[in-house]
């Protein structure tokens, strides 16, 4: 099971002062040193954290592991993806007022736009993943739209407690199983931390986990390299 580390919130701290530090590109290099199998950056339309220059620099310096670009399915972002050429693209929903991504893509409402982005990006040799809710219908629509893989949204599971968390874990498991059965590569992420990740690790057929906030938070105390190394130990790779 791969570990992709999202370094967006390193940039969030930097942008709070509009300074040059901390540097998300340096954080990416330390994450790789700690064992990360990939680096994720989300270039938002409002540029609230990762900036265009960050994406360009991380592409230059992240060569030996997977670079995953999270982005909205807009014409501007597609043009950027084609220019920068990450190793993979994950299409995600965006709302200007949200603090973080609140849920999976609305595939029924935005299917035509999403399919257009998939066709253009994958036509240039970059696989596309869709960030979706843990619902069988969304898994099947993702396949119909032509995506190579999906990332199952684990946010509701991560925030739930007791019976609600057990129910959400079952939904995640079913979505992962269905995606695998119909030939999609399956990732998972959002809200995972050093405690709740253990139940997700136990799900077979997950290709990779994409984790950011909890690792960045741990790195404040322990350093990025050690924070990533500890998560890698939990995943068991």
Residues involved in catalysis: 42, 70, 190
Q: What backbone torsions phi and psi does residue 162 show, to the nearest 5 degrees? A: 60, -135
Residues in the chain: 237
3-state per-residue secondary structure call for 105-173: CCHHHHHHHHHHHHHHHHHCCCCEEEEECCCHHHHHHHHHHCCCEEEEECHHHHHCCHHHHHHHHHHHH
Quick one: which of 143, 201, 195 has its CA closest to 172? 201
- Show Cβ contacts of residue 59 under 8 Å, excluding neighbours closer than 6 positions: 67, 84, 85, 86
Q: Tokens 């790789």 — which residue?
A: 32
Structural contact between residues 160 and 172, judged by C-beta atoms closer than 8 angstroms = no
Quick one: which of 81, 101, 105, 110 has its CA closest to 91? 105
Q: Alpha-carbon torsion 109, 114, 116, 119, what sign? A: negative
């Amino acid at each position: 099971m791969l570990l992709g580390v999202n370094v967006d919130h390193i940039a969030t701290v930097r942008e709070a002062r509009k300074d040059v530090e901390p540097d998300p590109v340096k954080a990416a290099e330390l994450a790789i040193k700690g064992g990360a199998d990939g680096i994720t950056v989300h270039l938002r339309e409002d540029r609230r954290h990762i900036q265009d220059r960050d994406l360009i620099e991380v592409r230059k310096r992240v060569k030996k592991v997977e670079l995953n670009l999270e982005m909205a399915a807009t014409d501007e972002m597609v043009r950027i993806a084609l220019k920068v050429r990450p190793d993979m693209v994950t299409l995600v929903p965006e709302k200007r007022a949200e603090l973080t991504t609140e849920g999976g893509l609305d595939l029924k409402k935005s299917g035509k736009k999403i399919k257009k982005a998939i066709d253009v990006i994958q036509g240039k040799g970059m696989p596309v993943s869709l960030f979706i809710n843990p619902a069988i219908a969304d898994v099947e629509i993702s396949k119909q739209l032509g995506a190579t893989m999906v990332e199952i949204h684990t946010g509701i599971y991560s925030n739930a407690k007791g019976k609600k968390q057990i129910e959400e874990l079952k939904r995640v498991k079913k979505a992962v199983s269905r995606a695998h059965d119909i030939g999609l590569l399956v990732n998972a992420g959002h809200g995972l931390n050093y405690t709740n990740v253990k139940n997700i690790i136990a799900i077979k057929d997950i290709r990779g986990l994409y984790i950011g906030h909890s690792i960045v938070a741990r790195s404040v105390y322990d350093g990025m390299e050690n924070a990533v190394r500890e998560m890698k130990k939990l995943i068991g790779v």
